[in-house]
Structures are given as structure tokens and as C-alpha cells.
Homo-oligomer: A and B are copies of this chain.
Amino acid sequence: MKKIAVDAMGGDNAPKAIIDGVNRAIETFSDIEIQLYGDEAKIKTYLKDSDRISIIHTDEKINSDDEPAKAIRRKKQASMILAAKAVKDGEADAVLSAGNTGALLAAGLFIVGRIKGVDRPGLMSTLPTTDGAGYDMLDLGANAENTADHLHQYAILGSFYAKNVRGIKKPRIGLLNNGTESTKGDPLRKATYELLSNDNTLHFIGNVEARDLMAGVADVVVADGFTGNAVLKSIEGTAIGIMKQLKSAVNDGGFKSKLGALFLKDSLYQLKDSLDYSSAGGAVLLGLKAPVVKSHGSSDEKAIFYTIKQIRSMLETDVVNQLVETFSKEERADD
């Protein structure tokens, strides 16, 4: 039985969206148990009865505008913190929260803890490609600065994830750079290129450019946290902006355009779905001793369901213990 600790109070639509997603997951997967951390009365309003769900009541919660480091120090009884502690204490195998990202990163690092040999866990998401296959990118901003060694570790972490959770036999690893030629980039990129080229456990395909990500140029894209964060937010902002433009172009276009949009409705929903990509799950803080997964703040029932599905895959394939083993070998090799 896989035990997942869920922060019932995190995110814009908590606790309803969280509980709805949990209800669906419990019905769908017979091999999971859910521990819900949060306000018991509120949780019970939405919860369907199941002997595989338990509630651990707490009044405290971390808000989206709380300063992360302060929050995890002072709000020791917050739903997110108790969920992370359950993993630390061996009562749960993984944590899910749609709450404050910074606080969850801090809880992951300081409560769940790093895998030995991983210096700076990286935030990873599966992002959409036009062919629907998607790619994993990390670090998306857990760190503001990274070294070439960190980037090398991200390549290993991302490769294991893509193999195990997404079922890609030989994930193509690309280094995000300002050109595809092997000589491109700043010293950080050049040093990383060297490390990735020399690691024959990885299927390194060289430098990739942000322009080609959506076309599916790689299965795993390695970036420093600052650039990864900027690229992720550029993709999001552009997608939102274009959908807004499309909507206003339709509205400004008069009756004919509105009629057209009506006919196109299904296709436009399909487009929206393909960009949403919440079916790939949440953002994983990869490099920790257990899956710590952040679902988007605006997560609905569907997003929570798919994040639980993703966590279940991570537990099923035991990707974290594979990583522990891999990095302990690396450590020994470095000695």
C-alpha cells in the first residue's frame, strides 16, 4: 500500500478541489492510502467515505503570501508541515501540496531531506510539446544559482524520472543553451557540456534552444534555476497572452467571428487542454528522499487526481531509491 500525505489546505481551491481529487484517486487506485492534513470539519464536507483515507486535524495552515523560511519555522502545526513530517517519520511515502511553493521547497529540503550526493534538488515539471509527448525540464527555480555539477545532477535526476515515470527507454537529455553548437554558452554551460558529454550513463544529445522545446527537441531539458524559471514563465505568459488575444480577436470580429468560434469550440477546448497539461501531474522537487510534489495553486479536481497518479507512479517504480543507489555510487566514484 502506497501512503500519500496530502496537504488539504493548500491552493486557491482548497480544500474542495483537493478532496474531490482525492476521492477520485481513491476510487481509481486500490493500492493507495491517503492521509489528509487540515481542518477536519471542512474536509469532511467534501470527503467520500473510505477506509483508505485518514484525516489528521490541524487548525494551522501556510498562506500563499507567507515568507517561506519564516513559515516553516513558526507554523510547526501547519497542514503542509505535518504532511512533510509524516514522510520524515516514515508514516507516509510522499507529500502533495498545492500551497505556497517556496514553503514546500523549504519543507522538502529541511524536513524530508536530500538524497546523499545531490547538492541542490531541482524543481521539475513535464511541459507540453505539440506532439503531445512532453518534456521534463529542471531546475525551474528551486535555486537562483547553480554550478555545472548541479546541472549534471539534474541530467541524472531527470533521466531517471523520464525513464521510470514516463516510460521513455533512453531519454534524450538536452542542455538549454543560447545556440546548438557545442562551443556555445557561458562558462557554466561549457563546463556542463563537458560533464554531460563524458557521462556515458546519459543519452546526451547536446545543446538545445528554448525555441525548439515545444517542438519536442529533447525528453529532458537541463537548465540552471534562474534560466529555467524565466523560460517556464515565458512559456506560461506567452500561452496566456495568445489565448487572451485569440479571445479578443474573436470578440472584436463581430457576429461572423463569434459564429466561427462556436463552430470551433471543440477544437479550441482541445487546444486549451493540450497547453494545460495538468494530466502530467505537478512539479516534483527532485533529489529528495521521497516524492515531494507541488500541484499548481489553481489546481482543480483533475489536476489533483493526476498529481496523485504521478506520485503513485514514482512510488511504484521506486525511482527515489534508484536515485539513492545511483548517487551513492557516484559518491564512491568521486572518492
Contacts and interface: CB of A to CB of B under 8 A. Distances in A.
Q: Copies per complex?
A: 2
B233 A214 contact: no
Contacts of A211: 233-234, 236-237, 240
Interface in A197-223: 209-215, 223
A246 to B, nearest CB: 6
A260 B266 CA distance: 11
Interface string A99-122: 000000000000000000000000
B237 A210 contact: yes
Interface of A: 129-130, 141, 144-145, 176, 178, 184-187, 189, 209-215, 223, 225-227, 229-231, 233-242, 244-246, 248-250, 252-253, 256-257, 259-268, 270-271, 274-275
A324 B86 CA distance: 63
Nearest to A102: B179
Given A257-B264, A263-B260, A233 B209 contact: yes
Given A227-B230, A262-B260, A267 B242 contact: no
A31 B241 CA distance: 38
B238 A264 contact: no
Given A130-B245, A186-B226, A233-B209, A264 B260 contact: yes
B238 A239 contact: yes
A194 to B, nearest CB: 16
Contacts of A238: 214, 234-235, 238-239, 242
